[in-house]
Amino acid sequence: DWTADSFVETTVAELKERIGDDKVVLGLSGGVDSSVAAVLLHHAIGKNLYCIFVDNGLLRKDEYQQVLDSYEHMGLNVRGIDAKQRFYDALAGLTDPEAKRKAIGRVFIEVFDDAAHEVQDVKWLGQGTIYPDVIESLSVKGPSATIKSHHNVGGLPDFMKLKVVEPLNTLFKDEVRRVGKSLGIDQIILGRHPFPGPGLAIRILGEVTPEKIAILQEADSIFINNLRSAGVYDKVWQAGTIFLPVQSVGVMGDERTYENAVALRAVESVDGMTADWCHLPYELLAKISNEIINNVKGINRVVYDISSKPPATIEWE
């Protein structure tokens, strides 16, 4: 019988045996999988696990600092790297979604490779790969796929030549969450909605600028905080806010405004392959819309996305 406790016990013993006194480097994303993989490895090898958490400037409002704090609180040996400007520079002028994804993947590899080089004599690369990633390894999406698509460009980055350790590669998502719980990881991390690797860059249609990111972060945090306070966050599989490159006329006091619109997206799903839009209560949508329009400078219109997947996708890019 599979139980999370026995999985933790046997996996920690196996990892100790396999890795011995070697050093492991692992990239944390803030998501469930990399967090659980890190804590599991930490139990096995302690300070020989070197975690790297890159601030790409494309995370939700305040999320980088909150997640970094909670990693440190869990005792992980984690290094946070502020690489915001490198990502913004690489994104400047790009409007095509795949070009944006490629630029983000390329900069991530450069930043991670530099940080991994600073760990003397590192032998292993730890990864939070889970079983569905293994079966879908040909998928075009996901951070590991981003790395794969760069294999043939100028040879492998050095960290890709390390031996790979993937302690979760036999588990499904719900099992990963149970293992995380058994390891005492905070529910705030375990219950988090999926979030795409390229982050807010693919939720800003067209060119990404720091100004648009700041506006989107404010609107998105109002949306997410309202889902939490209304008690519906855990019933929604994924939610996010999309910055639309559309300006429309509004009124504010006696003034005519001409500002951008955001779309709210909330879906129910099992695995992200198909999804239905969530029938959120009108009162909740009204509250969110008012709060965004009254508080976020630059937004004067909010729309709700009522498309299901297929034929629409969850993200807009």
Q: Which residues are annotated as a binding site for ATP?
A: 29-35
> Which is nearer to ligand XMP, 97 or 250 (by Cβ)?
97
> Which is nearer to ligand XMP, 142 or 298 (by Cβ)?
142
At closest approach, how far in Å is the CB of 98 from ligand XMP?
A: 9
At closest approach, how far in Å is the CB of 40 from ligand XMP?
A: 21
> Which is nearer to ligand XMP, 18 or 309 (by Cβ)?
309
SS3 per-residue string spanning the chain = CCCHHHHHHHHHHHHHHHHCCCEEEEEECCCHHHHHHHHHHHHHHHHHEEEEEEECCCCCCCHHHHHHHHHHHCCCCEEEEECHHHHHHHHCCCCCHHHHHHHHHHHHHHHHHHHHHCCCCEEEEECCCCHHHHHCCCCCCCHHHHHHCCCCCCCCCHHHHCEEECCCCCCCHHHHHHHHHHCCCCHHHHCCCCCCCCHHHHHECCCCCHHHHHHHHHHHHHHHHHHHHCCCHHHCCEEEEEEEEEEEEEEECCEEEEEEEEEEEEEECCCCCCEEECCCCHHHHHHHHHHHHHHCCCEEEEEECCCCECCCCCCCC
At closest approach, how far in Å is the CB of 306 from ligand XMP?
A: 15
> Which is nearer to ligand XMP, 142 or 250 (by Cβ)?
142
Residue list, annotated binding site: 29-35
> Which is nearer to ligand XMP, 167 or 198 (by Cβ)?
198
Give the footprint of ligand XMP on this chain (CB under 6 A). 101, 141-143, 194, 196-198, 238, 272, 309, 313-315
At closest approach, how far in Å is the CB of 43 from ligand XMP?
A: 26
At closest approach, how far in Å is the CB of 182 from ligand XMP?
A: 25
